[in-house]
Chains A and B, each alone.
Chain A
Amino acid sequence: MSYPQASFGLPYAVFSPRNLSLNTLNDIYVLNREGSLERIFDNADMNATAVRTWGIQRSSTSTNSGSFGGIGSGTRINPTQNTQIAMEQFAGLRNPSEAFSGAMTFSSSLTAGSYYVPATQWSGYNTLVGYPIMGSHTNTLFTGTIGGRNATHSLTRLTNSGFANSGGFGIQMTITNTTGQYSVTATDWRRIEISYGSNNAGIPAGYPGAPYQRTLHRTQAANQYANGTLAFGTQALAAPTVSVSTSQSGSTTVYEYNVFWSGFTSTGTFVGVPFTGSNGYFGIGTHTYPASFKILL
Chain B
Amino acid sequence: MSKGFTFSQFNDSFILRHPDHDQEVMIPIDEDLTVNQLFEQGLHVYMKNFSAQQTRNFFIQIEQGLDPYDEVWMDGKLYRFDYTQNSKEGQEILLNVRNRFPDETIFDDDKPENILSRYESDRADYPNETFGYYSFVKVPDSIIDRFGLEYSNYDVFDQTDQSFWYALKFDKITEDVKCKIVLPLSEISEEIRNEIFQIIPFTYLARDQIFFARIHNEDKEVSSEIDMFFITIPAVVNNICEAEGLTYPFGEYRENQNLEENIMLWGAVYDTETKKIKHVKGYARFFK
Q: Which residues of A line the B interface, CB within 8 A? A: 111-119, 128-131, 163-168, 181, 184-185, 219, 238-247, 258, 260, 262
Bound complex: CA A247 to CA B21 (Å): 12
Bound complex: CA A147 to CA B26 (Å): 12
Bound complex: CA A90 to CA B56 (Å): 43
**Which residues from 41 to 57 on chain B have a C-beta closer than 8 Å to any C-beta of chain A?**
41-42, 45-46, 48-49, 53, 55-57
Q: Are B157 and A119 in contact (CB under 8 A)?
A: yes
Chain B residue, CB-CB nearest to A116 = B265
Bound complex: CA A163 to CA B162 (Å): 10
- CB of A234 to closest CB in B, whole Å: 14
Chain B residue, CB-CB nearest to A185 = B10
* B63 contacts A by Cβ under 8 Å: yes
Cross-chain contact of B30 among A113, A129, A238 (Cβ < 8 A): A238
* B181 contacts A by Cβ under 8 Å: no
Q: Are A115 and B68 in contact (CB under 8 A)?
A: yes
Bound complex: CA A20 to CA B94 (Å): 75
Chain B residue, CB-CB nearest to A181 = B22
Contacts of B136 in A (CB 8 A): 114
Q: Which residues of B line the A interface, CB within 8 A? A: 10-11, 13, 15, 22-28, 30, 41-42, 45-46, 48-49, 53, 55-60, 63, 68, 113, 136, 156-160, 162-163, 208-209, 229, 264-265, 283, 285
Cross-chain contact of B157 among A118, A241, A242 (Cβ < 8 A): A118
- CB of A132 to closest CB in B, whole Å: 9
Contacts of B68 in A (CB 8 A): 115
- CB of B114 to closest CB in A, whole Å: 10
Q: List 27 A-B contacts (CB under 8 A).
A: A112-B162, A113-B162, A113-B163, A115-B113, A117-B55, A118-B157, A118-B209, A119-B162, A128-B56, A129-B60, A130-B55, A130-B58, A131-B56, A165-B160, A168-B48, A181-B22, A185-B10, A239-B28, A239-B30, A243-B23, A243-B24, A245-B22, A245-B23, A246-B22, A247-B56, A260-B45, A262-B45
- CB of A146 to closest CB in B, whole Å: 15
Contacts of A262 in B (CB 8 A): 45
Chain A residue, CB-CB nearest to B12 = A219
Chain A residue, CB-CB nearest to B64 = A129
Contacts of A185 in B (CB 8 A): 10-11, 13, 15, 26
Whether A184 touches B26, Cβ cut-off 8 Å, given contacts A115-B68, A117-B58, is yes
Whether A166 touches B25, Cβ cut-off 8 Å, given contacts A185-B13, A245-B53, is no
Whether A114 touches B113, Cβ cut-off 8 Å, given contacts A119-B163, A130-B63, A185-B15, is yes
Contacts of A113 in B (CB 8 A): 156-157, 159, 162-163
Q: Are B208 and A244 in contact (CB under 8 A)?
A: no
Cross-chain contact of A166 among B63, B157, B229 (Cβ < 8 A): B157
Q: Are A129 and B63 in contact (CB under 8 A)?
A: yes
Contacts of B42 in A (CB 8 A): 241
Chain B residue, CB-CB nearest to A132 = B59
Contacts of B45 in A (CB 8 A): 241, 243, 260, 262
- CB of B108 to closest CB in A, whole Å: 15
Chain A residue, CB-CB nearest to B53 = A247
Cross-chain contact of B162 among A115, A165, A238 (Cβ < 8 A): A165
Chain B residue, CB-CB nearest to A110 = B162
Chain B residue, CB-CB nearest to A131 = B56
- CB of A286 to closest CB in B, whole Å: 25
Q: Are B26 and A241 in contact (CB under 8 A)?
A: yes
New A-B pairs, 8, CB < 8 Å, besides A118-B163, A119-B163, A130-B57: A163-B157, A164-B162, A165-B159, A184-B15, A241-B25, A243-B26, A243-B45, A243-B49
5 interchain residue pairs of minimum CB distance:
A130-B56, A184-B26, A113-B163, A239-B28, A118-B157
Bound complex: CA A115 to CA B70 (Å): 10
Q: Are A166 and B159 in contact (CB under 8 A)?
A: yes
Bound complex: CA A114 to CA B285 (Å): 13
Contacts of A117 in B (CB 8 A): 55, 58
Chain B residue, CB-CB nearest to A168 = B208
Q: Are A240 and B28 in contact (CB under 8 A)?
A: yes
Chain A residue, CB-CB nearest to B45 = A241
- CB of B20 to closest CB in A, whole Å: 13
Contacts of A241 in B (CB 8 A): 25-28, 41-42, 45
- CB of B132 to closest CB in A, whole Å: 15
Contacts of B15 in A (CB 8 A): 184-185
Chain A residue, CB-CB nearest to B15 = A184
Bound complex: CA A258 to CA B24 (Å): 10
- CB of B206 to closest CB in A, whole Å: 10
Bound complex: CA A204 to CA B13 (Å): 27
Bound complex: CA A244 to CA B24 (Å): 5
Q: Are B11 and A244 in contact (CB under 8 A)?
A: no
Chain A residue, CB-CB nearest to B23 = A245
Q: Are B208 and A219 in contact (CB under 8 A)?
A: no
Bound complex: CA A238 to CA B44 (Å): 13
Q: Are B159 and A243 in contact (CB under 8 A)?
A: no
Contacts of B58 in A (CB 8 A): 115, 117, 130
